[in-house]
Structure 1
Amino acid sequence: MTAPRRGAPTGALSPALRHVPLFLTGLAALALCAALSLVLGTRSVPLSTVADALFGHAHGREALVVTELRLPRTVIGLAVGAALGVAGAVAQGITRNPLASPTTLGINAGAGFAVVVAIYALGLGDPVQYVWFAFAGAAAAALLAQALARRSGDLDPVRLALGGTVLQLVLLSWTSAVMLLNQRTLDEARFWLAGSLSGRPLGVLWPVLPTLLLGLVVALALSPALNALALGDDSAQALGVPVARIRLAGGIAVVLLAGSAVAMAGPVAFIGLAAPHLVRPLLGNDHRLLVPGCLIAGPLLLLAADVLGRLVIRPSELEVGIVTAFLGAPLLALLARKVTR
């Protein structure tokens, strides 16, 4: 007979408590990046002026720059980064593929193709008008990728990753073809397709806020089941986890999150791929910690890249999608090399 585990409740809490300092440090770093996003740009604004502008005590040119340009840019960056970070963690969890992300599953490419077609066919020119086309394109691409991955009614994770990659390449080629049909489409679409937080009004956030919040709730609710999926389908089913339904729910969460993010800022690459790999060495592979960690790491990476893009060629700036692609390409190469060993 074994002795009762009197210390079980305390022991059950200890892993979470042990990681509290890491979460607090991450939140502090995120707050610092948000502050830098409000301060730095073509012209730096003193932190005191930023504070006065936010509380309505300043009304000059610098205050307008903060409230009308940098504050919306920062808020949208927080929302987009959180969505992409969590979407990447869920995508890697349901596919059991460390290279999975909204980009490799074809979701970003689907959103981009839908927006370019809308610009060409309907003459759209306002980012607020892109929102639902981008979201619809992301959802359609995800559904098509899942259809390609189904085998005997089940969703095969390897086929999902491969199908998403093939779909991404096809959609990118179609997008390029549509952009070349006329000069206006090329001029309007190339800025959005680069992935940018610049010039985005807060109006692009409100239409997708419900889907963004729903995606985050679903992702957090699925995190215990994603731990079971990591053991393999047979082991997960033996534990009573409905594998097919969890994968379907996870796919819906990825669509909701990535579609919302792409609708707001365009197809920003590598945040969804990098955030989980940044968090895992710190918090481990437990998705109950990994998903909330990516909720912090995603916006931290995106805002840091956006601030960097404003400084490297000052007084001009690089779009955040260009910065993340430049920094993320070596990361993807390293990860691919590690996975194929």
Structure 2
Amino acid sequence: MRPVTPPHQALAPTPWRSRSLNLSGLAGAFAILAVLCLLSVSIGTRTTSLSEIVAGLSGSNETIAEAAVSLRVPRTLLAVLAGAALGVAGCVMQGVTRNPLADPGILGVNTGAALAVVIGIAWFGMSDPQDFLWSGIVGAGLTAVFVYTIGSLGRDGATPLKLALAGTATAITFSSLVVAIILPRADIAGGIQSWQIGGVGGATLSRTLSILPVLGAGFAISLLSARKLNLLALGEDMATGLGERVAVARLTAAAGAILLCGAATAVCGPIAFVGLVVPHVCRLLAGVDYRWLLPFSALGGAGLLVAADILGRIVARPAEIDVGIVTALIGAPFFIWIVRARRVRAL
């Protein structure tokens, strides 16, 4: 039987050695992300040299390579922001629900955001990117409440398995509704079907920058909830005994995750499994303290999405594979492994 860490030790400050190792790990993760961003800017249908990258970054479009660099920069920036948002959102969701299967895709939150955006486009003629953004956030929030309510029914409450089943059923139902809405609308079907796969191609700097305020708020709320998530990890009774209001803590942390997930989905489409894979890998590197786990998840999610985008350009050159497909190929086996592992019942 695995020993249980006493509450006073679980909440104690991180030892200097662990803090130093985690800082080194964050620096290493940031360096890897910087290299991936450089590769993302340089790799595509046309490979560019360092001098062409520098010229393209300075605003020059005199050659085809320099123009390609200027197009890849917003795409790379969007991949970084969306990946970080999904990584942190997944980490927060796992902490709030104490569910190792929690992920914006598996819990249906991504699909709910996508459904809200599709309804806005098809039924209300929505075209403003800001309308997409707020529709995605509202859809993500309503879906999260719905899935948690359904998963809480019964004697045992919101168990990990019930939440995963409720989220999966909701995601399938909402995906079917999206198809039913767009089938009669040939004028919008092509664009929505492409967006629904999930990708960062065609990103523009203005659209990417438009989600920064919402992402900033989501990141801030999530990071400020780190201590609350540490207390929730001890169990509801222990957290209450230590003076934490469990319902408020869950609601606050979930609000940050919903902002991040809704904003990322509104711009990129529903990208699954980033929020599942990244937090589990980061726990192996940073441990279970959310004060470290959340920053690691942000860098890890950004790195995973940028790497998936690069891989999608390489394997199908001169065509591309959207990142939503690449992350699904990576995440599906990981999901099966978690389901079969010992951590299915509790986090």
Q: Partners in 2 of 1:278 and 1:223 — Cα distance?
A: 18
Q: Is the 8 A contact 1:215 1:254 kept in 2?
A: yes
For 1:5, the equivalent position in structure 2 comes to none
1:297 to 293, 296, 300: 300
- CA-based RMSD of the aligned residues comes to 2.3
Matched with 2:340 is 337
Match of 1:317 in 2: 320
What is the identity, as a one-letter code, of the residue corresponding to 2:134? Answer: W
Q: Is 2:291 aligned against 1:272?
A: no
Which amino acid in 2 is paired with 1:119?
I
The answer to whether the 8 Å contact 1:106/1:142 transfers is yes
Counterparts of 1:255 and 1:162, CA distance in 2: 20
Give yes or no for contact 2:101–2:344 (8 Å, CA) kept in 1. Answer: no
Range moving further from structure 2, 166-175 or 328-337: 166-175
| TM-score for both structures, normalised by structure 2 | 0.88
Q: Spell out, residue by residue over 1:41-82, the C-alpha distance to the aligned partner (whole angstroms, 9 max, x if none).
A: 111111221012212456322212211x10000111111011
Give the aligned partner of residue 141 of structure 2. 139
Aligned to 2:99: 97
Cα offsets for 1:234-258 (capped at 9, x unmatched): 1111111211111111110110010
Structure 2: tracts of 5 or more residues without a match: 1-11
What letter corresponds to residue 121 of structure 2 in structure 1?
I
Aligned to 2:290: 287
Q: Which amino acid aligns with 1:313?
A: A
Describe the shift of the 1:11–1:64 C-alpha distance in structure 2 as closer, same or farther (beyond 3 A).
closer
Change (3 A) 1:136 1:71: same
Shift of 1:151: 6.9
The Cα shift of 1:102 comes to: 0.9
Q: Which moved more, 1:39-48 or 1:179-188?
A: 179-188
SS in 2 for 1:34: helix
SS in 2 for 1:19: helix
**C-alpha deviations, 1:151-179, integer Å up to 9, x for none?**
79xx8464655443332222112112112
Q: Select between 235-244 and 179-188 the one with higher mean Cα deviation.
A: 179-188
Tell me which moved more, 84-93 or 219-228: 219-228
Between the two proteins, what is the percent identity of the paired residues? Answer: 38
What CA distance in whole angstroms lies between the structure 2 residues aligned with 1:210 and 1:58? Answer: 30
Letter in 1 for 2:262: G
What is the deviation of 1:321?
A: 0.5
Residue 113 of structure 1 aligns with an amino acid whose one-letter code is L
1:250 pairs with 2:245: no
So what's the TM-score if we normalise by structure 1? 0.89
> Letter of the aligned partner of 1:54 in structure 2?
L
Aligned residues: 330
TM-fit CA distance, 1:340: 4.4
Q: Counterpart in 1 of 2:114?
A: 112
Q: String of CA shifts for 1:201-248, please: whole Å, max 9, x gaps.
A: 122223322111111111111111211111111111111121111111
Displacement of 1:112 after TM fit? 1.3
Following the alignment from structure 1 to structure 2, what is the Cα–Cα distance between the partners of residues 149 and 38? 43
Unpaired stretches in structure 1, ≥5 consecutive residues: 1-8
Which residue, 64, 69, 84 being the options, matches 1:66? 69
